[in-house]
């Protein structure tokens, strides 16, 4: 069920009204049932995968809390291996098998079979959220949840189970357990976030996709200028698509009285790559920081280890995004950029001041790295970059995709986003009347300018 569909609107209204009509003791059950239906709408049988990991982690949490010494570590490792094993099987088996088959074919060896299945929706997200729970219980930051239904709801809470934000148990479980009385301010602010997210998705992201997708799917058929435009457009397509989903998730949860963490903080205003990762997909970057980078030693041992840790974390982050070499290369690029940034800091190399130039340089680095993320293959990515830098065919002839006037229109809405989003964020502190007017305005713009082809969110298959 997509957030940008009429079916979700009906689902949201029914779930919300029923939630507030029910007594508190039944609300968890209603939300769990609604979340199960929401997830099963995509592929019903995959609910069994989530149920399996939920049972394992629920039991592991209790056993970790009761155990002492090495036994606690054993239960934690058992939980983590189970979660990573499920993720690895469904997300990486065919990738590993295909690459091993290529290697085996070189030596005329046997071939591994490729399995025919669809990647479960949002598997990477709810797996990481489940792992957060057992790690936090092991660290003593979160008591083991005895209520099985509440723990299941923590993993499956429908606004964010498919594409985040990836929450921590100490932030969400207490909110699921408390009495959330209806508040008009939560309703209006939540609807405002939902309208803002829908605007980003259907007015900006999906319109840019009309140009980006055909160009990247056929890079050899387009000029350097067309590829360059597609590169910049994709940077805003993925931002509006993903942050739009996060806004809708945050708004949907807030209507129910539950606050989710902020997942984006104007990432394209970052002045360096390190700053970018403090602003982009914050729930994932902090997850890797707290559960992988710091346990590896972070930056506390020595500079060489710090650089190695950064490369490891970002290579794994790249693979987290997808079972494809292009994602690994994308992650490695960001890891290398952060290593260079650390080197500059270590030896105090850099330009003081010139904030605009640092922003411009960072933005372009991020955009060029996005080419590997969006291109069909690593080879295609290198072809695109080579063609852009060589300037071969710096003409525009893709009028069958977008006219020059439509290109300027897309540029206009991007500039509008850059200038207006900061003010829209502040709108949550406005009066209810002002927010209602903004909601009406955003819905009006979405209705008349939006692309309602129910395009799937980019991060649904991660």
CA distance 19 to 365: 46
Closest by Cα among 290, 294, 281 to 320: 281
* Per-residue pLDDT tens digits for 132-154: 999 999 999 999 999 999 999 99
Mean pLDDT of 389-394: 76
The pLDDT, as a whole number, for residue 4 is: 81
Answer positive or negative: Cα dihedral of 397, 403, 405, 408.
negative
The pLDDT, as a whole number, for residue 114 is: 80
The pLDDT, as a whole number, for residue 456 is: 66
* Per-residue pLDDT tens digits for 277-318: 999 999 999 999 999 999 998 888 888 999 999 999 999 999
* Per-residue pLDDT tens digits for 395-430: 777 667 788 888 888 888 888 887 777 777 777 778
Q: Is the pLDDT of residue 129 over 70?
A: yes
Q: Is the pLDDT of residue 55 over 70?
A: yes
Catalytic residue selected from 126, 222, 321, 334: 321
How high does pLDDT run on average in the chain?
A: 89
Buried b (16+ CB within 10 A) or exposed e, 63-72: bbbeeeeeeb
The pLDDT, as a whole number, for residue 400 is: 74
* Known active-site residue 321: yes
Give me the percent of the chain exceeding a pLDDT of 90: 61
The pLDDT, as a whole number, for residue 393 is: 67
* Per-residue pLDDT tens digits for 235-262: 999 999 999 999 999 999 999 999 999 9
As to burial, measured by CB atoms within 10 angstroms (0-12 exposed, 13-18 middle, 19+ buried), residue 258 is buried
User: pLDDT-derived band of residue 460, with 50, 70 and 90 as boundaries?
Assistant: low
DSSP labels, 361-397: HHHHHHHHHHHHHHSSSHHHHHHHHHHHHHTTT----
CA distance 432 to 429: 9
* Per-residue pLDDT tens digits for 26-43: 999 999 999 999 998 888
Q: Is the pLDDT of residue 162 over 90?
A: no
The pLDDT, as a whole number, for residue 192 is: 93
Parse the chain into domains and list their residue ranges.
Answer: 6-179, 197-461
Which tokens is 99 given?
A: 């690459």
């Amino acid at each position: 069920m997509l957030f940008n569909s009429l079916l979700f609107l009906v689902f949201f209204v029914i779930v919300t009204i029923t939630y507030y009509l029910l007594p508190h003791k039944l609300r968890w059950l209603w939300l769990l049932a609604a979340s199960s239906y929401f997830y099963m709408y995509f592929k019903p049988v995959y609910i069994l995968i989530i149920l399996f990991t939920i049972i394992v982690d629920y039991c592991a949490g209790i056993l970790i809390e009761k155990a002492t010494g090495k036994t606690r570590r054993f239960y934690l490792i058992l939980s983590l291996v189970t979660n990573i094993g499920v993720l690895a099987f469904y997300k990486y088996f065919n990738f590993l098998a295909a690459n091993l088959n290529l290697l085996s074919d070189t030596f005329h060896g046997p071939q591994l079979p490729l399995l025919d299945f669809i990647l479960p929706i949002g598997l990477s997200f709810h797996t990481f959220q489940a792992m957060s729970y057992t790690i936090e219980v092991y660290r003593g930051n979160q008591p083991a949840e005895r209520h099985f239904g509440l723990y299941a709801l923590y993993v499956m809470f429908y606004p964010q189970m498919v594409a985040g934000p990836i929450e921590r148990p100490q932030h969400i479980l207490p909110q699921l357990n408390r009495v959330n009385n209806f508040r008009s301010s939560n309703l209006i602010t939540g609807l405002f976030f939902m309208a803002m997210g829908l605007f980003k998705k259907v007015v900006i992201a999906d319109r840019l996709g009309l140009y980006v997708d055909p160009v990247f799917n056929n890079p050899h058929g387009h000029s350097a200028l067309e590829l360059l435009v597609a590169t910049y457009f994709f940077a805003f397509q993925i931002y509006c698509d993903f942050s739009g989903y996060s806004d809708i998730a945050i708004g949907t949860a807030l209507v129910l009285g539950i606050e989710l963490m902020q997942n984006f903080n104007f990432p394209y205003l970052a002045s360096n790559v390190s700053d970018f990762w403090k602003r982009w997909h914050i729930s994932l970057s902090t997850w890797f920081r707290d559960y992988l980078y710091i346990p590896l030693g972070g930056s506390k041992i020595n500079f060489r280890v710090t650089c190695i840790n950064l490369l490891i974390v970002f290579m794994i982050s790249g693979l987290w995004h997808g079972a494809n070499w292009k994602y690994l290369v994308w992650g490695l690029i960001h890891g290398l950029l952060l290593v260079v940034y650390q080197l500059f800091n270590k030896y105090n190399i850099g330009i003081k001041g010139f904030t605009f130039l640092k922003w411009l340089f960072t933005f372009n680095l991020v955009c060029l790295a996005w080419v590997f993320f969006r291109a069909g293959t690593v080879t295609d990515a290198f072809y695109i970059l080579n063609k852009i830098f060589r300037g071969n065919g710096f003409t525009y002839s893709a009028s069958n995709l977008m006219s020059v006037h439509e290109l300027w229109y897309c540029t206009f809405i991007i500039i509008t986003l850059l200038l207006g989003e900061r003010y829209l964020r502040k709108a949550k502190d406005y009066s209810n009347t002002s927010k209602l007017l903004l909601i009406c305005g955003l819905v009006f713009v979405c209705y008349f300018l939006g692309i309602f082809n129910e395009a799937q969110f980019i991060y649904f298959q991660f």
